[in-house]
Amino acid sequence: MAKKHETAIRPTRAENYPEWYQQVIRASDLAELSPVRGCMVIKPWGYALWENISRALDDMFKATGVKNAYFPLFIPVNFLEKEARHVEGFAKECAVVTHHKLEKDQQGELVPAGKLNEPLIVRPTSETIIGDAFSRWVRSYRDLPVLINQWANVVRWEMRTRIFLRTSEFLWQEGHTVHATRQEAIDRTYMMLNVYIRMAEEYLAMPVITGEKSAAEKFPGAEMTTCIEAMMQDRKALQAGTSHFLGQNFAKASGIRFQSAMETEEFGWTTSWGVSTRLIGGLIMAHSDDNGIILPPRVASSHVVLLPILKNIDENEKVMAFTRELAEKLRRKNYHGTPVRVEIDERNIGGARNWEWIKKGIPLRVEIGPKDIAKDSVYVSRRDKDRKDSVSMQKDAFVDEIDTILDEMQSRLYEKALAFQREHTRDIDEKGEFDAFFTPADPQRPEIHGGFARSPWCGSTECELAIKDRLNVTVRCIPFDREADGGKCIECGAAGKGRVIFAKAY
Amino acid sequence: MAKKHETAIRPTRAENYPEWYQQVIRASDLAELSPVRGCMVIKPWGYALWENISRALDDMFKATGVKNAYFPLFIPVNFLEKEARHVEGFAKECAVVTHHKLEKDQQGELVPAGKLNEPLIVRPTSETIIGDAFSRWVRSYRDLPVLINQWANVVRWEMRTRIFLRTSEFLWQEGHTVHATRQEAIDRTYMMLNVYIRMAEEYLAMPVITGEKSAAEKFPGAEMTTCIEAMMQDRKALQAGTSHFLGQNFAKASGIRFQSAMETEEFGWTTSWGVSTRLIGGLIMAHSDDNGIILPPRVASSHVVLLPILKNIDENEKVMAFTRELAEKLRRKNYHGTPVRVEIDERNIGGARNWEWIKKGIPLRVEIGPKDIAKDSVYVSRRDKDRKDSVSMQKDAFVDEIDTILDEMQSRLYEKALAFQREHTRDIDEKGEFDAFFTPADPQRPEIHGGFARSPWCGSTECELAIKDRLNVTVRCIPFDREADGGKCIECGAAGKGRVIFAKAY
């Protein structure tokens, strides 16, 4: 429990940002690392967040005609090899299944047995295995477009893991589509990027910048990768979602052919697009403070906790009856198409109870004691405001206004994050200023520096890699709407092709 | 397309039941086998069915206080070994991950590299990995009960696979709970069995028998396994769901300890319970006919397809406007808490269109032509009735009554399956009759014989295994409510402990 003037999370953001992140997750009870290397356990409070995110995304996907399906977890190595850059991108970090049983050896130890003729890898992404299915499903232009999404777990064997941001196993959705024309596939790529922008900004209250990835940063096998990137509170960028135009690369690799209306045989044009549980890491780093996480109402695991004050045995039953009635009324309220989510915490554990819910980031805490009941009122605290801003409200007014209060909180979180992003985004044209921007001013606080630099770039991978080597800064995206007139490349001084967004990244 | 007096599915159930099953799935477009050994691709029409089943189950779980979480895909071998019978049950059929990357060998072939210190198995079920998490989460009786469910994929390396019924990878939910007392855990075991009974009977229209598994058939490591078993149209039993009381076996194996209210240290009492995509296989085999699948309305991928008849270019726009307006009206209707699901199929492909939807099992087909529109009527066909029973209905009456029609169809499917189950359930007390019951009368139709035999059994595993060896018949369950008075064991003639259900099983 944090004392007055203390923070619930130690260290604070300013003291040690990476460690603060770990402690916020621990205190919020969202997830924990498991004893299985690099894998996490998503606990109920964190999984509810994922359920709300995925339900909202699923509705948006379906509104564009996408249908869900499910494809095998295992991919034969020869499938992966069909697209050369793709296998190069994923072969170095994949879980390989080589046997199909365990048997006791002579020492009585269980060892792998039943060796497979061909090893299988656990999907790191499913372009090749889904492409194989599509090659059977698509015969004619009449079968197009194919618009499929899969909710699944994937595995990429990461050496340095960080909960939610980079784990060996994570949950995601991967959309895969096939189209008759190049333009239709490109349109779909942007359409799904727009769904991700909506998810980030309207649901997670997380402003993003968007654009195209550079050659060095795009998806292995893609012709174009578009992305959303959000600024975290340590001013680093988080790639929060990507939508790829794959050209005909995977169609050729998998043999996705169709007979056109002109009766010619053509390869399909494909896209793929995904977001993952990484979004939860982004949400944490975008909004949390030194007292823990702050959950944006649109996706919050729960909206409001009722905290009955049960100190007087004669009045407890009355307090609980009032609390339960309020809970029922709130649950009948609709907030953006779902019932208001309500918790009741009747534990008698003093101030620790309040602090626990602060750390869990629930948007609203409502205290209910005999004195409140006498006035038919409740005492409401908002997670995005100070304790001193808590207010007493008439119970009925609170029920009437809860959706407005939640919406106001949602907007405020977004506005605050947007102001932060703008504050730390700068047009930089000089190499010296660029390097200074990305170098810690205070060696005691190495993580607090930088931001998004909007700087001219000549477009060469050499310059991009030179900057990466020197500063660990990469091109996060090439904005769609940048002015073509360019200035001089921040690295080599040659004619730039316009400004791009540079940042350090997760 | 099937001609008059022909069936859409060949062979028919009577001709070759196992092959009929494969052909029904192929014709319905629910799923297909993948090139990855024993794994399936669940296609959109099949996945929608799973979404409806899992949404309904999820709501029922949550109504009992269960919360969702997510645990690692991989289980270290030493975790599996903690419970002796458990490892014995699963070691012989598991996917083993031994390496974490692929590298080119001297011949340029991609081969496994980066050998793991300890192999990992892909979860066949998660008692041990979840038990490990619970051992950290549970400290005091105040932390109990823990009520967790996980929606996940699991892998059991099956040698003989059959789509939906037995595949190497399948989708399921697995619930895991910890309780302070034996009785509370037993109560939870039955509570979740009751959820499965509701799912089977109310949603899948699939009557089940319930009871306890024999020692030979129970879950490896369980103290008691309860189950639901449904009769398929070939009279075999399908185990459709199980709920296990695990005693303190897994709590001891994983170290799930808590301090009781009396301040003593105790092991928790745990349960686990699961159903899987196997339910879809059950649904297919319970209701389909020789024209394909029949989807029970409560879980149907879609409820109704509108089939505009577009033969006259002058009237097509009018027909489509009428169709779209009807679709909108239907989608605004509520069927058991969800909007009515509506398809529009405007393809001009003649009778093939109707047959396609028959094979896909959609509950209602609605034809709309200029003549219908003139009368403001629609022509309605029910999948559970003959084509000759199709009726013309006033459009508004159809909109008003669609939920009643769907409910009536749902009940009829259930009643029909129940009548079939009763017809083929028999009390048998004589060994000769028992053997005859389970022996094909007609060698040309080996699959059509038997059913559920309610016969006395002495309770010994010897007798159970002798019957299994001779007839491939097992004890499907020991009914909870059986009369204790027993008759003589159908195998050995010793005093029986009451009747149990014998059947051949999937």
What DSSP assignment string belongs to A46-75?
A: HHHHHHHHHHHHHHHHHHTT-EE-B--SEE
Q: Touching check for A327 and chain B: CB below 8 Å?
A: no
Residue B83 pLDDT grade (very low, low, confident, very high; cuts 50, 70, 90): confident
Specify the higher pLDDT residue, B496 or A437: A437
B92 contact residues in A (CB cutoff 8 A): 101-102
Answer yes or no: are the C-beta atoms of B1 and B120 closer than 8 Å.
no
Banded model confidence at residue B5, pLDDT cuts 50, 70, 90: low
Q: Please compute the mean of the pLDDT values over residues B377-400 and round it to a whole number.
A: 96
CATH topology for the B427-503 domain: Translation Initiation Factor IF3 (3.30.110)
Residues A448-473: what's their mean pLDDT?
94
**Residue A193, burial from CB neighbour count under 10 angstroms (0-12, 13-18, 19+):** buried
Domain B304-421 matching CATH 3.40.50.800: the answer reads: yes
- Return the H-helix or E-strand segment holding B243: strand B237-245
Q: Closest-CA residue in chain B for A91?
A: B102
Looking at per-residue pLDDT, the higher value among B330 and A445 belongs to B330
Q: Distance (Å) from the C-alpha of residue A463 to the closest C-alpha of chain B?
A: 30
pTM exceeds cut of 0.80: yes
Burial letters A58-72, b for 16+ CB under 10 A, else e = bebbeeeebbbbbbb
Of A72, A96, A102, Cβ closest to residue B91: A102
Strand-pairing partners, residue B289, are B292
What is the rounded radius of gyration, in angstroms, for the C-alpha atoms of chain A?
Answer: 26
- In angstroms, what separates the C-alpha of A134 from chain B's closest C-alpha? 11
Residues B346-360 have pLDDT tens digits of 999 989 999 999 999
Q: Which of A202, A383, A246, A197 is nearest to A304 (CA)?
A: A383
Q: Do A72 and B110 touch (CB under 8 A)?
A: no
Query: Measured between beta carbons, which residues in chain A are less than 8 angstroms from residue B148?
Result: 44
Q: What integer best gives the mean pLDDT of chain A?
A: 95
- What chain B residue is nearest to A142 in terms of C-alpha separation? B347
Question: Could you please report the per-residue DSSP string of A121-143?
Answer: EE-S--HHHHHHHHHHH--BGGG
Cβ pair B153, B171 in contact under 8 A: yes
For residues B269 and B176, give the distance between their C-alpha atoms in angstroms, rounded to a whole number: 11
CB B110 to CB A87 under 8 A?
yes
Task: Say how many CA atoms lie within 13 Å of B218 toward its Cβ.
Answer: 19
Only one residue has tokens 């979602």, namely A241
Give residues with Cβ within 8 angstroms of A199, minimum separation 6. A53, A56, A57, A60, A241, A275, A279
Tally of CB atoms within 10 A around A52: 20
Whether A272 contacts A176, CB under 8 Å: yes
Q: Looking at residue A237, what is its pLDDT? A: 97
CB-count exposure of residue B313 (10 Å: 0-12, 13-18, 19+) = exposed
pLDDT value at residue A449: 82
Residue B488 has pLDDT above 70, yes or no: yes
A415 Cα to chain B: minimum distance (Å) = 31
Domain ranges of chain A: 17-287, 304-401, 425-503
Task: Name chain A contacts of B32, Cβ cutoff 8 Å.
Answer: 133, 136
Distance CA B138, CA A162 (A): 25
Interface check for B344 against chain A (CB to CB < 8 A): the answer is: no
Quote the crossing angle between the two packed helices B316-331 and B395-423, to the nearest 10°.
60
A73 contacts in chain B (CB < 8 Å)? 39, 122, 153, 155, 169
Burial of B257: CB neighbours in 10 Å, binned 0-12, 13-18, 19+: middle
Tokens 């596939």: give the residue.
A185
Kindly report, residue by residue over A305-344, the tens digit of the pLDDT. 999 999 888 999 999 999 999 999 999 999 999 999 999 9
Q: Which fold is adopted by the domain A304-401?
A: Rossmann fold (3.40.50)
A171-214 residue pLDDT tens: 999 999 999 999 999 999 999 999 999 999 999 999 999 999 99
| Pairing between β-strand A146-155 and β-strand A67-68 as defined by DSSP bridges | parallel
- Cβ pair B486, B496 in contact under 8 A: yes
Give me the pLDDT at residue B11, please: 94
B342 touches chain A (CB under 8 A): no
Backbone angles phi, psi at B165, to 5 degrees: -90, -40
Give per-residue pLDDT as tens, B120-145: 999 999 999 999 999 999 999 999 99
Q: Are B294 and B332 in contact (CB under 8 A)?
A: no
Check: CB of residue A505 under 8 Å from CB of residue A239. yes
Amino acid symbol at B301: S
Token pair for B361: 């099992």
Please give the residue of chain A at the shortest CA–CA distance from B112. Answer: A96
Q: How many Cα atoms sit within 13 Å of A329 on the Cβ side?
A: 16
State the DSSP code for A93: G
CB A475 within 8 A of CB A500: yes
Tokens in use for B204?
Answer: 């899948």
Average per-residue pLDDT for chain B = 95
Q: What is the pLDDT of residue A1?
A: 44
Q: What is the pLDDT of residue B2?
A: 46
Q: Which of B66, B45, B33, B63 is nearest to B158 (CA)?
A: B33
Give the number of other CB atoms < 10 A from CB of residue A263: 8
Residue B266 identity: E
The CATH homologous superfamily for domain A17-287 is Bira Bifunctional Protein; Domain 2 (3.30.930.10)
Of the pLDDT bands very low, low, confident and very high (cuts 50, 70, 90), residue A72 is: very high
* Residue A207, preceding peptide bond in cis (omega within 30° of 0): no
What pLDDT is recorded for position B323?
A: 98
The total of other beta-carbon atoms located within 10 Å of residue B3's CB is 8
Give the separation between CA A473 and CA A456, rounded to whole angstroms: 14
What percent of chain B shows pLDDT beyond 70? Answer: 98
CB contact, 8 Å: A47 with chain B?
yes
Task: Say if residue B434's pLDDT is above 60.
Answer: yes
Closest CA to A141 of A270, A262, A252: A262
* A111 pLDDT above the threshold of 90: yes
Residues A194, A199, A205: CA angle, nearest 5 degrees: 125
Task: Report the topology of domain B17-71+124-287.
Answer: BirA Bifunctional Protein; domain 2 (3.30.930)
Average pLDDT over residues B209-215: 97
CB contact under 8 Å between A72 and B169, yes or no, is yes
Q: Which residue of A has its CA nearest to B111?
A: A119
Residues of chain B numbered 168-197 and touching chain A (CB < 8 Å): 169, 171
The residue of B82, B92, B110, B163 whose CB has the most chain A CBs within 10 angstroms, and thus the best one to mutate to test that interface, is B110
Fill in the DSSP letter of residue B168.
Answer: S
d(CA B121, CA B79): 10
The model's pLDDT over A463-504, given as tens digits with 9 standing for 90+, comes to: 999 999 999 999 999 999 888 777 999 999 998 889 999 999
Which pLDDT belongs to residue A8?
Answer: 93
Nearest CB to A47; choose among B42, B69, B96: B69
Least confident among A53-62, A307-316, A424-433, B464-473: A307-316
Q: CB neighbours of A18 closer than 8 A, spacing ≥ 6?
A: A162, A447
Strand order from edge to edge, sheet including B67-68: B67-68, B146-155, B169-179, B269-276, B237-245, B224-231, B208-212
**Secondary structure percentages of chain B, helix, strand, coil, to 5:** 35, 30, 35
Give pLDDT, residue B160: 87
Give the integer Cα–Cα distance in Å for A221 and A88. Answer: 10
pLDDT in tens, A17-33: 999 999 999 999 999 99
Among the four given CATH numbers 3.40.50.300, 3.30.70.580, 3.30.110.30, 3.40.50.1100, the one describing domain A425-503: 3.30.110.30
Task: Quick: pLDDT tens for A138-181.
Answer: 999 999 999 999 999 999 998 888 999 999 999 999 999 999 99
Distance CA A245, CA A269 (A): 8
Report the distance separating Cα A130 and Cα A502, nearest Å. 34
Residue with tokens 């695991």: A301
Task: Tell me, rounded to whole angstroms, the distance of Cα A96 from its chain centroid.
Answer: 27
Whether the per-residue pLDDT at A2 is higher than 70: the answer is no
Distance (Å, whole) CA A304 – CA A363:
6
Question: Would you call A102 and B121 a contact, using CB atoms and an 8 Å cutoff?
Answer: yes
Give the count of beta carbons closer than 10 Å to the beta carbon of residue A236. Answer: 23
Q: What pLDDT is recorded for position A312?
A: 85
Phi, psi of A422 (to 5 degrees): -65, -40
- Decide if B380 contacts B390 (C-beta within 8 A): yes
Beta bridge pairs of residue A42: A31, B70
Q: Are A165 and A278 in contact (CB under 8 A)?
A: yes
A171 contacts on B by Cβ (under 8 Å): 70
Contact check, Cβ <8 Å, A153/B148: no
What's the mean pLDDT in A448-472? 94
Residues of A in contact with B74 (CB under 8 A): 36, 39, 95, 169
Q: Are A205 and A414 in contact (CB under 8 A)?
A: yes
Grade residue B370 by pLDDT with cuts at 50, 70 and 90. very high
